[in-house]
A and B are shown apart, each in its own frame.
Chain A
Amino acid sequence: MGHLTEISALPAGIGLYDTVDISGHRNNTAISAATETGAGAFNVWRNSFAAEYLPAGGSLVHVDGVPFEFPPVCEGPDNIRCAGQFIRVPEGRYDWIHVLAASERRSEDTVELNFADGSVDAEALRVSDFWAAPPWFGEVRAFESLVMHYPHHVQRGIPAVMWAQRVPVTRRAGLTGILLPRNVAVHVFALTLQRTES
């Protein structure tokens, strides 16, 4: 687990941050228990993160000061494998979209930000490889499973990493939704909006 990560039981929506409910979009299981490694299939080889190294499902975690609602763990789908899903957000002025994410290999794709006035801005979503890789895009190492789960065994020596990345909201308008990329390599575990300071 990264040194900037804290886990707490504080309620969501604290300070400048609003966690986003993505539960209706989860379509992939990336985390598995050591007793059932075959239940996870983050990537095409059906590797998965080891639950024992990650926060409890549904807990509120802080990564570098940003709160995220950690997804359910070992209770079905825990992340969005990106396929162009549209995530509606409470309309508001935001400066940053914080993303808890991981990728099968380094990915650099685009999210489209929809605004109440009808404007749409494309912004880059850059996510480093989850597989024993450095934070190539300068992300924060949010959580790290020190072992890799394979369908039939637990593999030491290959860590699986979940990154905290962020996407800027440059337009000074009310954000209403986020269109994720059509890119199955990119997985989103949690989203948090950082409101514009008034």
Chain B
Amino acid sequence: MTVEATARTYTITGPEPELWYRDLISCLQATFGSVLARAGADPLAVLGAGWEFLHVPGDVRSEEFYYPCADGDLGRALAPHHDLGARWWQPADEDDVWREVREQLAADRLVIAAVDNFHLPFRPAYGDVHAAHLVVIHGLDETRGVVHVSDAMPPAFRGAVPIQAFLRSWGSANPTDVQDAFFSDSKIGRRCLDVRLGTQPAPLTPELLGGYLRANTEGFTTETSARTGLSGYDAFAAELAERCRAGDAGALRELYPFGWAMQAQASLHGELLRRCGRDWDDPVLAGAGRAVESVAHAWTGLRFTGAHGLDAPRAVTADISHHATLLRGAYARAIDAVGAAAARL
């Protein structure tokens, strides 16, 4: 008797994806970092080049990977100074949901997939808490019935997950979960991200970075019709306090994922500037980086005051306003420091 085994194994070539992680980033920057590293780029130089404030009222989703985008272009939002594209997609054929994943892997491309942690055996929330998250798929073995996944967020994981478990996670309704008010209640819907780096980044020079910094600071100091820059921050902070005062817990529920996006971005930008300041023997630039990192740290106070006050928004209004004021000051100092550093580059 002859048994025909159909080759149904798809995997990227070369080593498994790099687990790219920093303690203030989310799965969004971590997964993009893995893709960028595999594309031969320095994730910090790409994801840390931009720095802005953008709040889009009514847009915040309860997902760890939420990020505000002015024009819906996630790649441009995360890397405004680089040729980075990012497109959400979902399987076109309900009867063959793996088709696009196979095609991507066959083309030697990583796939970033949205998942619900509740169904993934390697996540701490497994069988306990529903929460929207991103992982990298780097292999699919339909013969053995496993998906090869990497996830840089603690506890870092690279390995095989049973296809059935992954399908439950990938297709989860991610229902409302009282244990996670910030990342549940957001349908996963088998979403995936196609992230592509176009032109390879040019080597980072003081002149190039100086251009980035001038554009970033201009974004902070120029008023637009959107909630951008310092004026946009002021509008956001005033509305946040007002909604707390009115007992609107939704304001605090949105603050946590939105604030993570802004916090992660500031931490990466600050780290990049500090690294360049050290490498180029420029203490003013290094100090500007540290000032931007203080913005990231000030987001902690605001985000966690909101998170702990979720059940009593009125009661935390004064503390929310206090931390919003501290954060405003951190932004102002950092913009001043970055402007001064940019003028020398």
By a beta-carbon cutoff of 8 Å, the part of chain A in contact with chain B is: 44-45, 103-109, 126, 128-129, 131-134, 136, 148, 150-153, 155-158, 181-185
Counting CB contacts under 8 A, is B305 at the interface? yes
Chain B interface (Cβ < 8 Å from any Cβ of A) = 23-24, 124, 128, 154-156, 179-180, 263, 294, 296-298, 300-301, 303-305, 307-308, 319, 322-323, 326
Contact A108 B23 (CB under 8 A): no
A81 CB to nearest B CB, Å:
8
Provide the residues of chain A in CB contact with B156, threshold 8 Å: 157
Residues of B within 8 A of A44 (CB): 304, 307-308
| 12 A-B residue pairs with CB within 8 Å | A105-B23, A105-B263, A106-B23, A107-B297, A107-B300, A132-B23, A132-B155, A133-B23, A153-B128, A158-B155, A184-B305, A185-B301
CB-contact partner of B304 in A105, A131, A157, under 8 A: A105
Residues of B within 8 A of A105 (CB): 23-24, 263, 300, 303-304
Q: Are B23 and A184 in contact (CB under 8 A)?
A: no
B-side contacts of A104, CB under 8 Å: 300, 304
- Tell me how far the C-beta of B256 lies from the nearest C-beta in chain A, rounded to whole angstroms: 9
On whether the beta carbons of B155 and A103 are closer than 8 Å, the reply is no
With both chains docked as a complex, state the minimum distance between the C-beta of B247 and any C-beta of chain A, in angstroms.
19
| B297–A184 CB distance below 8 A | no
A126–B24 alpha-carbon span in the complex (Å) = 15
CB-based nearest A residue for B260? A105
State how many angstroms separate the Cβ of A112 from the closest Cβ of chain B: 14
Min distance, Cβ A119 to any Cβ of chain B, angstroms: 23
Please tell me if the beta carbons of A155 and B300 are within 8 angstroms of each other in the complex: no
Check A155–B155 contact: CB distance below 8 A: yes
- How many residue pairs link A and B with beta carbons under 8 A? The number is 72
Q: Which residue of B lies closest to A107 (CB)?
A: B300
Contact of B23 among A126, A136, A148, A185 (CB under 8 A): A136
Pairwise interchain contact B124-A182, C-beta atoms closer than 8 A: no
Flag if B294 contacts A157 (CB, 8 Å): no
* A157 engages B154 (CB within 8 Å): yes
Partner of A148, one of B124, B322, B323, B326: B124
- B residues within 8 A CB of A185? 300-301, 304-305
User: What's the minimum C-beta distance from B218 to chain A, rounded to whole angstroms?
Assistant: 27
Smallest beta-carbon distance B55→chain A, Å: 20
